[in-house]
Chains A and B, each alone.
Chain A
Amino acid sequence: MSLTLCSPTLCLYFSLSLGLSLWAVAVLLVALLCLDPHSRVSSAPICTHGPSGCHVPSLADLFDRVIQHSARMHSLSNDLHSEFEQYFLPSKNSIGKIYRKCHTSSILTPNGKENAQKLAREELTEVILKLLMAWRDPLFQLHQSMAHQQDFNSFSSNKALEMGDMTHELRKGVEKVAEKMRVLGMLGNSVTGLSPAETMLPISDSGEAMSNYELLYCFRRDSNKVQNYLKILKCRIIPEHDC
């Protein structure tokens, strides 16, 4: 003998009316979306008609994107390196780090702001590309070794994977920037293409493969180089105030 709030017929009416109203609202929404051309979400066509059709990113925009990308990459490398130091090397020098030889040490890189500013654009661009290229395989190896070891949680190995992907993307981006610069005539033709033979394997002094910590240390340094070089390059390519 339970008390129902509505009789069966009444409940049926309620449900029917509710369903009808919902359906009407759905129909209205669909109509609005479909009939209103402006609210339609669709993909823009490829810019084939020049600046009138769509927005072509300028070189400055491209540089900004690339610089943001490199900043994120460097931050990732710093996080991973700090994790490594925290868990695997509790004792560290109070002032700085111990010298380690990286596999990219053979690449001649300007070691200061003025040196980098004095360097030619093409060379600077080339250095950036060389660095990024040199880290393609070692980062992949780093991710592999981190994923296999149980010492790292999945978060760290995911960071390593993301770092590798970012490096790859950044290299592609810098290549595009260089291409654009070449098109715009800012770069001479002295930019030599990167020879695939220049892939260097990370080998430490003793000849063995570098450890994960050494790799991270080196990559942290190199990503900072790339970030700063890009900034210097942008400042030189695109004239801005106080640059």
Chain B
Amino acid sequence: SFYRPHFTGCRSREQETFRCWWSAGIFQNLTEPGALRVFYQTKNFLSEWQECPDYTRTVKNECYFNKTFTQIWTSYCIQLRSVRENITYDEACFTVENIVHPDPPIGLNWTLLNVSRSGLHFDVLVRWAPPPSADVQMGWMSLVYQVQYRVRNNSHWEMLDLESGTQQSIYGLHTDKEYEVRVRCKMSAFDNFGEFSDSIIVHVAQIPSKESTFPTTLVLIFGVIGVVILLVLLIFSQQQRLMVIFLPPIPAPKIKGIDPELLKNGKLDQLNSLLSSQDMYKPDFYHEDPWVEFIQLDLDDPAEKNESSDTQHLLGVSRSGSSHVLNFKSDDDSGRASCYDPEIPNPEDLASLLPGHSGRGDNHPLVSRSSSSIPDLGVQQTSEVEETPIQTQPAVPSWVNMDFYAQVSDFTPAGGVVLSPGQLNSCPEKKKEEENEKKIQFQLVSDGAYTSENTARQLSASVPPSPGPEQGYQTFPTQAVEGNLWNGEYLVSTSDSQTPYLLPEAPPAPILPPVSDYTVVQEVDAQHSLLLNPPSSQPAICPHSPNKHLPAMPTMPMGYLTPDLLGNLTP
């Protein structure tokens, strides 16, 4: 409501007198002097309204209360009235000590305290005097001051803390910059600041420093480089110790009772004995994987694990003139149940005699063992299987030297074994499917004794050429079959149909496929020579037998003789 006549403010400068101002607003008819009058009332013990004791002549619309009419700690109420209209336009109440705005301090000056070594900064001490109107000597007004400064023509003033004295230091000013400094004051424990004093200019010219800063920087740089060099030298000289301190070696794993050297040498049998003694592996190990225990890992001679290792090995073995044609390698198999007749060559020992296929690599007629359904090694299960020339390979991990099995093609008179490469390529089986390392696969053997299911399917119409002379089986001059020396060579699988071994379509004739990587040892005669099955004269090399499983095989085994059939053999 500033259009009406109103009080614009009341102020006291020294807490001894005060003035009030008013404005007529937009009421033009009230602007003439005397139209508006001020009445006041002190709420001490007087209740009557008195008119303003002094209307200032020089200043328009001001009412001045001198010392006589000023009472501190007393409530005043003033009214702005138009007597002619008998209207009170405005009223205000206050106490004098709450409207005190001290005068600005006087005598503001500055002195230089110091200049920094770089000559870029300086400090000043600013001094002033309290306003003369304020009676500070007696303490009637206790003043506090506030100093403000800014870079000239800047818009932002820096404010320092309230100072009760009459001097203040300003630190960190920049040389070559002009500063404006001003000060104002207020009564302590009250809130009204007075006006600012006049600003003073503070300026210090930048003196080019006599001492240059170069040496300091250079010394610093050199010092740092020296320290770094020292550190590097220290680190390099004490490298070992530091390495041990900061990167302590990790202790090697230790299993109580097991010598890590054993593991390195691959003496699995000892490990097995240890483990079995600790009763850790035994149940599962031997249940799931009866074949595994019989795996002979020959890790002693990695150099011989090449394609022709077995061949040479066998040859070497044969050259060594061992009486045993079948040089059973490392027959120190641990834990193997004595299921077999010791004289009967173990299937895998047999397998180890077969010649390796040089250059075949993965195309070996190796049969990786099935995952779960391992055909049970056993003579016991012979009867469960029909007389089918199904022979499952002993489970051998695929990483074992693929030359594990080789086909014995001939025997030297001296008793050595001549091995021949397999005829795997004759059958256009698809190797790719067989090379899934984890899957059970029975590599297609050209003799058809081992056929993978997949490949057998694809061999439906293929008539691979007969390799002819490569006879997997060599007919020996049949010798007397000794009694029950007939080995239960054909391993019967009692597994489910998952085992993808196929029986080749067996012609009634007990003949084996012409080329055979694996052969069955019929017997071992008295001279410790192998009697192998007679070679097969089967026309079809790659049997394309349908997907027949075990039970559906012809009764006549291919090339395998059952004991009762033995009698049918004509020597």
Contact = CB atoms under 8 A, between A and B. Distances in A.
A binds B: yes
A113 interface: yes
Interface stretch (B73-81, B286-294, B337-345): B73-81
B34 interface: no
Interface string B217-253: 0000000000000000000000000001100110100
Interface residues of A, number: 36
A96 B189 contact: no
A71 B144 CA distance: 13
Given A75-B188, A114-B67, A96 B73 contact: no
A96 B67 contact: no
B322 to A, nearest CB: 50
B95 interface: yes
Contacts of B552: none
Contact of A97 (B7, B9, B93): B93
Interface string B4-16: 0001011000011
A111 B139 CA distance: 16
A97 B94 contact: yes
Contacts of B97: 221, 224
A235 B10 contact: no
Nearest to A230: B139
Interface stretch (A1-9, A42-50, A118-126, A143-151): A1-9
A3 B245 contact: yes
A96 B98 contact: yes
Contacts, number: 94
Contact of A96 (B72, B76, B139, B248): B76
Interface string B97-123: 111000000000000000000000000
Contacts of B529: none
B140 A113 contact: yes
A232 B189 CA distance: 18
Contact of A71 (B43, B135, B188, B191): B188
B139 A231 contact: yes
Max chain A CB contacts within 10 Å: which of B73, B94, B97, B142? B73
B89 interface: no
A82 B190 CA distance: 10
B17 to A, nearest CB: 10
A17 B98 CA distance: 70
Interface of B: 7, 9-10, 15-16, 43-44, 67, 70-77, 92-95, 97-99, 135, 137-140, 142, 188-191, 244-245, 248-249, 251
Which 7 pairs, one residue from A and one from B, show the smallest C-beta to C-beta distance? A96-B94, A231-B139, A99-B75, A111-B71, A242-B137, A1-B251, A95-B92
22 contacts: A3-B248, A5-B245, A71-B142, A75-B189, A95-B9, A95-B92, A96-B10, A96-B99, A97-B75, A98-B75, A98-B93, A100-B75, A111-B44, A112-B70, A112-B72, A113-B72, A114-B67, A224-B97, A225-B73, A228-B139, A232-B138, A235-B139
Given A95-B10, A96-B75, 8 more contacts: A1-B249, A96-B95, A99-B77, A111-B73, A112-B16, A112-B71, A113-B16, A242-B137
Interface of A: 1-3, 5, 67, 71, 74-75, 78, 82, 93-100, 109, 111-114, 221, 224-225, 227-228, 231-232, 234-235, 240-243
